[in-house]
Amino acid sequence: MEKLEKFKNLGISDIILKALKKKGYEEPTPIQEKIIPLLLKGDVNVIGQAQTGTGKTAAFGIPIIEALVDRSKSVQALILAPTRELAIQVSEELNTLKGTRHLHIIPVYGGQSIEQQFRRLERGVDVVVGTPGRIIDHLNRKTLKLNKITHVVLDEADEMLNMGFIEDVEEILKCTNEEKRMMLFSATMPKPILGIAKKYMGKYELVAVEKIDLTTNLTDQIYFEVSRNDKFEALCRIIDIETEFYGLVFCRTKIDVDDVSTNLLDRGYDADALHGDISQHQREKILRKFKSQKINILVATDVAARGIDIISLTHVINYALPQDPESYVHRIGRTGRAGKEGTAITFVTPSEYKNLLFIKKIAKTNIRKETLPEIEDVIETKRARIKNEIAGIITTGENDSYLKMASELLAENEPEQVLAAVLKHSFQDELDESYYNEIRSVSVDVKGTTRLFVARGKADGMTPKRLVSYIKEEAGVPDAVIKDTKIFETFSFITAPFEDAEVILEIFKRKRGGKRPLIVKAKPKK
């Protein structure tokens, strides 16, 4: 537990410490250091001002888990999240943090079978992590009771405000037990959020952490458009064309991590895998090998890669595009450290392109498009590398024990034939072009414009000027790119260049979570 000493000093129990060790945590983030002891020691309500990616889930999750009773017959804690993705993420994190505690933690969100949720709630649940809309559904159907709640968390409260959920949040809070502790987390503190705090939290302590700067100046950022089935082939070409490759390959799931690492090993690369199912002992062993560069490729999930701090990485490969800009910046920030430049490479399928645009916009970073190296380019790079290695051996003179054998072979054969045979023996089929498979060309057509449907019209007070101003404020696109605005009674249309339209669609999709977005692609005329 030496590495977890700082967590232990916060007052965390051995059960949770073991869960943290299994997850690969080593030391608390700033918000965890401030909030965990505050919540463990008393009945204080807390407002945490922090972004996504600062470790706030563990900051509120650990104290809640410590405070709950095993196998309670009533819901003890409610965590409200603005989107289904965040609800699932928080639920999964809490389930890994609880260790051996007998607590039933479930996500509840729109788009998931409500009948399945009925059954799970009937069996008894300790912690519900849900989106406001679906929680309201269950309260109206009386399938969820919050009268014995001891803890309520509002996660990313400003996003709930942006998505129009504040009235739902207030309705939910009215149904909760008055004797409860409240925690509110938000990146910004607009007046309506502070109004909720004043109305429902009473006295509270405000804890703020420094805002993360979403920039990575020392990292060269590249993306390749590639189909899902060709990603592995693309990975091999990138590794082989580099003079030096020492990097992390990020996958989204444990299954993908296992598949990619196994395929790399089958093709002769020095690689290993890291994910949540790997024991702490094995994790430490793998990291020792990676840090000493006995292996030069580590394939991992985001959670498993937590705590890896190596300043000499040359590459980070996003085999799968991360879900949000904070995760992207956190991943690629592992290169370009200690004054050394690094390279971040992202594989993007056509269907993921708008997510890439969203990441570029929010992270305010330049990710340039490149073309994957051709097979002949990779082979030529290998040839040059082999020649340099042989020249280095000749220069150092570390070949005396082979001189006699060389003389015998040259006496019996032509010099070029001897050298070619030696190269073949040493490098086997490394220069064989059939070692690589062809990669199909895929691309996103970024030319032209996209017509968008907006579910707001004159009845909502919309005018062309108001609509353009609203979209500019929410999506951050210049108002000059929004053209051909048509306002009708209950809906509107706009036209925007392809890339700007994709950003608008992605941002409004995230703002609505599981509900139908306010802006969607207009259906083509028949």
Q: Are residues 110 and 230 in the same domain?
A: no
Whether residue 214 lies inside any domain: the answer is: no
Which residue range forms the structural domain that includes residue 488? 449-521
Q: Are residues 383 and 368 in the same domain?
A: no
Task: Give the pLDDT confidence score for residue 410 in this predicted structure.
Answer: 83
320, 355, 372 — which closes off a domain?
Answer: 372
What are the counts of helices (DSSP H) followed by strands (DSSP E) for the chain?
20, 18
Task: Give the pLDDT confidence score for residue 1 in this predicted structure.
Answer: 46
Q: Are residues 131 and 277 in the same domain?
A: no
For residue 185, CA distances in Å to 129, 188, 194, 212, 508 come to 14, 9, 11, 15, 21
| Higher-scoring residue by pLDDT: 193, 78 | 78
Whether residue 411 lies inside any domain: the answer is: yes
Mean of pLDDT values over 441-468: 88
Whether residue 443 lies inside any domain: the answer is: no
pLDDT tens for 92-106 read: 889 999 999 999 999
pLDDT tens for 42-67 read: 788 999 987 666 788 999 999 999 99
Task: Give the pLDDT confidence score for residue 2 in this predicted structure.
Answer: 57
Mean of pLDDT values over 372-379: 91
Mean of pLDDT values over 467-482: 88
For residue 211, CA distances in Å to 30, 88, 112, 236 come to 11, 25, 34, 37
Does residue 399 surpass a pLDDT of 80?
Answer: no
Does residue 68 surpass a pLDDT of 90?
Answer: yes
- Cα atoms in the Cβ-side hemisphere of radius 13 Å centred on 168: 22
> Distance between CA atoms of 243 and 31, rounded to whole angstroms?
40
Does residue 472 surpass a pLDDT of 90?
Answer: no
Task: Give the pLDDT confidence score for residue 231 in this predicted structure.
Answer: 96
What mean pLDDT value characterizes the chain? Answer: 86
CATH number at residue 500: 3.30.70.330
354, 372, 390 — which closes off a domain?
Answer: 372
Q: Are residues 26 and 169 in the same domain?
A: yes
Q: Which band of pLDDT confidence, cut at 50, 70 and 90, is reported for residue 363?
A: confident
Whether residue 444 lies inside any domain: the answer is: no
Angle at 102 between CA 149 and CA 40, to 5 degrees: 55
| Higher-scoring residue by pLDDT: 421, 347 | 347
| Higher-scoring residue by pLDDT: 302, 439 | 439
Number of folded domains that form the chain: 4
Q: Are residues 192 and 76 in the same domain?
A: yes
Task: Give the pLDDT confidence score for residue 408 in this predicted structure.
Answer: 81
CATH number at residue 279: 3.40.50.300
Whether residue 383 lies inside any domain: the answer is: yes
| Higher-scoring residue by pLDDT: 156, 216 | 156
Q: Which band of pLDDT confidence, cut at 50, 70 and 90, is reported for residue 309?
A: low
Q: Which band of pLDDT confidence, cut at 50, 70 and 90, is reported for residue 261?
A: very high
End-to-end CA gap in the chain: 66
Instruction: Read off the pTM.
Output: 0.59
Mean of pLDDT values over 368-393: 86
DSSP code of residue 294: S
Q: Are residues 200 and 223 in the same domain?
A: no
Whether residue 355 lies inside any domain: the answer is: yes
Does residue 15 surpass a pLDDT of 80?
Answer: yes
